[in-house]
Structure 1
């Protein structure tokens, strides 16, 4: 029984039919199990996430990993141990230059991107719509960020031609004398100068190493320690920047007055994104579609974070926090997703770093909140590989439901798109279904174990369906979540 008498209530829909893949665009190569969640506790959703499930609005789904064309592995980042890479640092500096001065980086033409697919686009994740959607909701589109590696370039000065040089010196009187001025040093190649400077630095380091052995220096001061993620985020930001980035906590379920007041601005960002990236006509991205996709939640209490604003980029960051109760005590799990205008990919990557920093900030209030979940990692889709760059991170084994470092998993995924990631042949699913009779069902507003339900409904032919559902959610969840039976 759930704490405080609260239950999760779901309807299971199976997953035998294939549908269009949002990654490789295969018309019927994507397979997943799905269920409609009328209500769900925080703990149940946490346990489902750790078994490969995720949600779109109130629709909860789990890819059939060994059958689908593009296997999707749940990925989480160790937020407390995350250190930005060189690319992440460059990205944060670009964002800060824009926030402080409005400076836009000059970028060369992006290479290697798919035809007709902007590098900063949010990748579409196909979600199988339930065959009997209680609210007739279209779940055909689920979005995810796809960013590409940073391509920083600097402005270079164009070489001058002899004609240009002649024009510059037409009014200059030459000095008397013949040949090279003996009082001036000889001209030297830039390559030789760089080599000389490098040798000087090496000699200086050797001298410092020798002196340190004779007179050991005191322990490193805090100024010599590597910069933290938070320091990179706030670095070079003046007290009065040109643009400001604010994060507001707004309750979306049930909707608060602040959520209602900001709803239209958030919807406009979503609509512009759908039109620009997915080429939707203006009348297709409706308010109801936006609400059921990004705002509706089966969780007890949900919050909607708004981040304003990158002026014409209007970058909107949405966090769905899963809270244990209305007293706003954070649970041990946070899931973040981003909807954004078609902006430069450095803003997308910069936002992910900021979300990881925000997770660390929340962890000070809730010690259990230590992971940043990035949704699904698809090794067979080049546009999804960026998620693996946020390390240290783990992937979820689709057979044992254990977490393994991504470094251990990548060699196996290079060989096969689908792989049992846990190399231990003896390892198994610790929460595998053992007793079908203990699965809880909700029948005629009455909670009962499946064994009692089967006795009441003699001759019922749903045992295989219930067994499939319970195997997917695991014994622990099956004994807490109520499976609706008509």
Structure 2
């Protein structure tokens, strides 16, 4: 056994099981939601990354894993390939809405575009530990979050349950060169009576073809002026979509009515702040991303920067700006931020949106941030969402990995090697069992170690009273 080193970071957790059901915030089933839970006193970013990749997620210092084969509304971990992401039509609509507000000062009328909201520790949140006073845990969890909040902000979500939600726009604004070509839907005017088309006139051409040709001509003229003798761009090259960053920059015009700024701060969480030579400049850990409008804070996003991803945790905003779809806007900003960090740390290339809940229609919006994958609940392999959706249409619970021989690569093989923390000493569970003859917690420790896997079980310290 080893004494705890003062200069070494450990993950220390207390496990609370998960046998009892509680109220579901999605389908309102009184006892249909089941999850396993742990209280995290401290946690390294690598341990949390490994846990997230096994279906765990944190809410404050409470870390929980839904029991997907038992719970009424299965919650599947979803990640977006940030480097390959292209904004959809509805995403562009959100950015245009922000741009119009910033440039002209006009707030959209009515409410937001249908972004679903969850309260922090209410129905849709994680299950609380069964062997701890519920009210005490709830107060602690709320206090952990509320001490981070400016007084002017209202908490609206736990797991960034914000939807894109905007209906497809029937019309698009005039496109800039290099943008994705989109058709405008119009009604054709009835032809006037006459002798038919004049055979001496050239045939009519679609407006979008004319615009494409003019762009190509301008590009050829520009290259000629620059002395570029290379071949003119092909049609395929002219169709390259604009990157997300260009759309975001266009939504923040110069000389506008309002000034929207962003600031980033470390925030309190169980994750230990860490720096690595090959990591991002800001380091790893939990951060506030604050949205300031004309010197006034209007929204805050909490994110975890982990070794291979940016994980969205919470998002809350001032209710006066609900019509701006700030939830969707913040997701786009966080994807762009992930792309920025990847330039500093090549392994960091994913954006985790929390859980995808196919059985709840209003929570399917996360599947619109593509390309994306869902985590197989049995093998913990990532599978493209397009392959998963047909299975989820047939069954709420599904094994996504189609390889029948595939299994959990980190399956528990020896619970005796799981580490425990007992009286400030670190020891394998086998040594603890010998020391504590007659201990009756083997079933609980076995369940915990199965859920975190062999690798994490040998690295995370399970607190024993």
TM-score (norm 1): 0.72
Tell me, in whole angstroms, the C-alpha distance in 2 between the residues paired with 1:23 and 1:347.
22
Q: Name the residue aligned to 1:98.
A: 101
Aligned to 1:413: 392
How far off its partner does 1:64 sit? 0.6
User: Is residue 20–residue 126 contact of structure 1 (8 Å, CA) maintained in 2?
Assistant: no
Q: Larger deviation: 132-141 or 50-59?
A: 132-141
Flag the 1:428–1:449 CA change in 2: closer, same or farther, 3 A.
Answer: same
> Within 1, Cα distance between the matches of 2:254 and 2:239?
24
Matched, 1:72 2:75: yes
- Give, in whole Å, the separation in 2 of the partners of 1:356 and 1:204: 31
Q: Is the 8 A contact 1:441 1:448 kept in 2?
A: yes
Structure 1 residue matching 2:15: 3-state secondary structure: strand
Matched, 1:190 2:189: yes
SS in 2 for 1:201: coil
1:305 corresponding residue in structure 2: 289
Shift of 1:417: 0.9
Distance 1:106 1:466 in 2: 55
* Aligned counterpart for 1:379 among listed residues 358, 364, 372: 358
**Alpha-carbon shift at residue 36 of structure 1 (Å):** 0.6
Q: 1:315 to 1:217 in 2, by over 3 A?
A: same
1:129 paired residue number: 128
Q: Cα RMSD (Å) of the superposition?
A: 3.5
Q: For residue 422 of structure 1, what is the aligned residue in structure 2?
A: 401
Which of 450, 453, 461 pairs up with 1:474? 453
Gaps of 5+ in 2: 143-156, 172-187, 218-229, 274-284
What does residue range 39-438 of structure 1 map to in structure 2 within 5 Å? Answer: 39-105=42-108, 119-124=114-119, 125-133=124-132, 136-138=136-138, 142-151=158-167, 190-192=189-191, 200-201=204-205, 218-220=232-234, 225-235=240-250, 237-253=252-268, 296-300=269-273, 301-309=285-293, 315-322=298-305, 331-336=307-312, 337-342=314-319, 343-344=322-323, 346-438=325-417
Unaligned runs of at least 5 residues, structure 1: 111-117, 156-188, 254-295, 324-330
Q: Give me the whole-angstrom Cα distance separating, in 1, the residues matched to 2:397 and 2:247.
A: 37
Indicate if the aligned counterparts of 1:120 and 1:344 stay in contact, CA closer than 8 A.
no
How has the CA–CA distance of structure 1 residues 434 and 368 changed in structure 2, closer, same or farther, with 3 Å as cutoff? same
Distance in 2, matches of 1:24 and 1:311, equals 40
Match of 2:29 in 1: 26
Residue 252 of structure 1: how far off its partner (Å): 2.0
Q: Distance in 2 between matches of 1:319 and 1:432?
A: 32
- Give the Cα–Cα distance (whole angstroms) in 2 for the partners of residues 244 and 128 of structure 1: 40
Counterpart of 2:32 in 1: which secondary structure? coil
Report the alpha carbon displacement of residue 307 of structure 1 after superposing the two structures with TM: 1.2
In structure 2, how many angstroms separate the alpha carbons of the residues matched to 1:203 and 1:119? 34
Classify 1:27/1:201 alpha carbon distance in 2 versus 1 (closer, same or farther; 3 Å): same
Once the two structures are superposed, residues 306-356 of structure 1 have per-residue CA deviations (whole angstroms, 9 ceiling, x without a partner) of 1112899x6413233346xxxxxxx33321231123402633222211111
TM-fit CA distance, 1:440: 0.5
Question: Aligned partners of 1:43, 1:245: CA distance in 2, in Å?
Answer: 34
Contact 2:89–2:168 under 8 Å retained in 1: no
8 Å Cα contact 2:114-2:166 kept in structure 1: no
In structure 2, distance between residues paired with 1:478 and 1:419: 26
For residues 294 and 73 of structure 2, the distance between their equivalents in structure 1, rounded to whole angstroms, comes to 34
Q: Matches of 2:97 and 2:461 in 1, distance apart? A: 49
CA distance in 1, matches of 2:76, 2:93: 28
* Alpha-carbon spacing, 1:406–1:217, altered in 2? closer, same or farther (3 Å): same
For normalisation by structure 2, the TM-score amounts to: 0.75
Shift in Å, 1:143? 4.8
Length, aligned pairs only: 389
Deviation per CA, 1:234-257: give whole Å up to 9, x if none: 12643222222222121223xxxx
Q: Report the Cα offset of residue 220 of structure 1.
A: 4.9
| Deviation at residue 46 of structure 1 after TM alignment | 0.2
Moved more, 98-107 or 221-230: 221-230
Residue 151 of structure 1 deviates from its aligned partner by 3.1
Higher helix share: 1
CA distance in 1, matches of 2:397, 2:414: 29
Where does residue 457 of structure 1 map in the other structure? 436
Distance 1:106 1:220, change over 3 A: farther
Question: Given that residues 99 and 310 in structure 1 are in contact (C-alpha distance below 8 angstroms), is that contact kept between their aligned partners in structure 2?
Answer: no
Indicate if the aligned counterparts of 2:91 and 2:164 stay in contact, CA closer than 8 A. no
Q: Separation in 1 of the partners of 2:208 and 2:258? A: 43
Computing the radius of gyration over CA atoms, which structure comes out larger, 1 or 2?
1
Give 1:362 shift. Answer: 1.8
- Tell me how far 1:416 sits from its aligned partner: 0.6
